[in-house]
Amino acid sequence: MKLYLKVWRQENRTSGGSMIDYEVDGISEHMSFLEMLDLLNERLILKGERVIEFDHDCREGICGACGMMINGRAHGPLTGTTTCQLHMRSFKDGDTVYIEPFRAAAFPILRDLKTDRSSFDHIIQAGGYISASTGQAPESNSILIAHDTAEAAFDAAACIGCGACVATCKNSSAALFTSAKISHLVLLPQGKTESADRVIKMISQMDAEGFGHCTNTEACEVECPQEISSLHIGRMNYEYNKALILRK
């Protein structure tokens, strides 16, 4: 298989960037998208050219580091799939593929396809945790949690923080990410004690990081590789308004 790639190249966060054309042949349909980029980078090395930099870690759809825009869609053409789990059989011989980094004011480009997503870390640091006494782990059955509640919390906790929701939102909103992190704690008894402070702190930090506001287009849910429900945004808004009332 041969593809014509148009890849965003940018030296650093302060320099300008542009789309550079590459032709890559000898691509197997069984390669992942990242393996195809590895193949291109090997050839660039042999030519003495700088490789295309992109983030990756697990390459198993778990960590979310590999996120990039492929033909205008976060993570590419398949739903419920991260970039590293996208395979070249999703493309046809001779296709032209546009590859760009996630774009948002809160995700500055570091180089090429690498973006700085530490703004997500700052939101978690603001309140995405519970306070617990150190010591021996409690008996797992000492706090009874209904099955439906546990499943709902697990569904929210499935968010891998890849940033696709931000990249695909016309306002670059982090509402889906933030609401998922708030939901999975507020649903559980361990997270209810600090729920009011948590939601206020995390939303305040989200705004401070420069993310836009949610306008309920639900594009975030469509492009989320874990298919996190936008209903969590409704729960976050409810918890936020409740916390404001309780503070008065």
User: pLDDT (tens digit, 9 = 90+) per residue, 34-80?
Assistant: 999 999 999 999 999 999 999 999 999 999 999 999 999 999 999 99
**What's the one-letter identity of residue 87?**
H
pTM over 0.85: yes
In this prediction, residue 47 carries a pLDDT of 97
Q: How would you class 147 by CB atoms within 10 Å of its CB: exposed for 0-12, middle for 13-18, buried for 19 or more? A: exposed
Instruction: Name the class of domain 3-110.
Output: alpha beta
Q: What angle do CA 36, 39, 43 make, to 5 degrees?
A: 145
Q: Where are the domains of the chain?
A: 3-110, 117-131+145-247
Instruction: Name the class of domain 117-131+145-247.
Output: mainly alpha
Alpha-carbon torsion (205, 207, 210, 215), positive or negative: positive
How much of the chain is in helix, strand and coil states, percent to nearest 5?
Answer: 40, 15, 45
pLDDT bin (cut points 50, 70, 90) of residue 238 is: very high
In this prediction, residue 245 carries a pLDDT of 92
pLDDT tens track for 93-149: 999 999 999 999 999 999 999 999 999 999 999 999 998 877 887 787 788 899 999
In this prediction, residue 1 carries a pLDDT of 95
